[in-house]
Amino acid sequence: MTINNRIPPLNALHAFVVTARHLNFTRAAEELFVTQGAVSRQVASLEPWLGFSLFQRHARGLRLTSQGSQLLPEVREVFEQLFRVTNPVKEGRSIRMKAPTCAMRWLVAHLMMLEQRRPDIHVSLTTTTEHGIDFRHEDFDVAVVFAPDGAPRHYYSKLFDEVLSPVLAPHLLLAGQTTLLPEQLARLTQLHPTHDQRDWKLWLKTHRIDEQVMCRNQQFYTMDLAISAAIQSFGIEMADVTLVAEDIRRQRLVMPFSETVKIGAAYYLVHRPGLGGRVQSEWLTDFLATFTDCLTADAT
């Protein structure tokens, strides 16, 4: 009789769970802090170990096979249980936070303020290109989320509304200029964090400027990348004024128009339901209150 005592490849199983959540190797790699190729190889190595395929590869992404769909809930529950058992021991007084990369320009300064006020509170920050959070399947205590259609569930406080206005590097203005005329937009490259250019189109429509000025365009994967390109003089970006406030203060960027537009979206601080989970409820509550105090102090 042969007994198979081989230990399952845990890293590959974890890569499978994360990839199944995103159905995209690139986004799974960003969450796991490895390369896309590494995630793909881990999943590929797991399939012969299991004896069946986990994903169907398509030009537009991935799709779970029937066997992969059957396996996923049990494997995911194993990892969730593992996190629940080990994390309180390892990081009993640490707050695990998730935040979209586009919010980092604003968030880091406030986390530094939090650290100065309460050095005993440690925040373990994970960045992502995602704008939401699923506490059922993600091991975080709090998250910064971008909500385009009203407040999300379990939110603790609204951080700020999204208010848009064009920004560019100061030296892209002509000599002696502090503002731009609408027709001068045509000589600049418009930078976009979305393929549909909706932010620019909304701002132009609101201020009755013809879309024909958008004759030179460049798309980026995230707003943060587009803002960085604007700082490097690549073009003019439609940015959230709160996210670029520090860049404007340091004169890395300027607002050549006084007009802004609110689209109804906002950033929120949300927490795990019931304030429970890995960390003590009172510790998480303490963090939320202190972080909110930092926002209030910064506003004044």
How many Å apart are CA 143 and CA 123, to the nearest integer? 11
- What is the CATH class of 162-262? alpha beta
pLDDT score at 54: 94
Q: Is this structure's pTM higher than 0.85?
A: no
Asked: is 93-160+266-299 a CATH 2.40.10.120 domain? The reply is: no
- 275-296 confidence digits (pLDDT tens): 544 444 566 777 777 777 777 6
Tokens representing 57 are: 């590869």
- 14-24 confidence digits (pLDDT tens): 899 999 999 99
CB 246 within 8 A of CB 298: no
Torsion of CA 153, 159, 163, 166, to 10 degrees: -120
In the chain, pLDDT over 90 holds for what percent of residues? Answer: 14
Q: Are domains 93-160+266-299 and 162-262 of this chain identical in fold? A: yes
User: Does residue 87 surpass a pLDDT of 60?
Assistant: no
* 3 state SS of 23: coil
Instruction: Enumerate the domain spans of the chain.
Output: 10-88, 93-160+266-299, 162-262
How many Å apart are CA 180 and CA 160, to the nearest integer? 27
pLDDT score at 69: 92
Domain 10-88: which topology? Answer: Arc Repressor Mutant, subunit A (1.10.10)
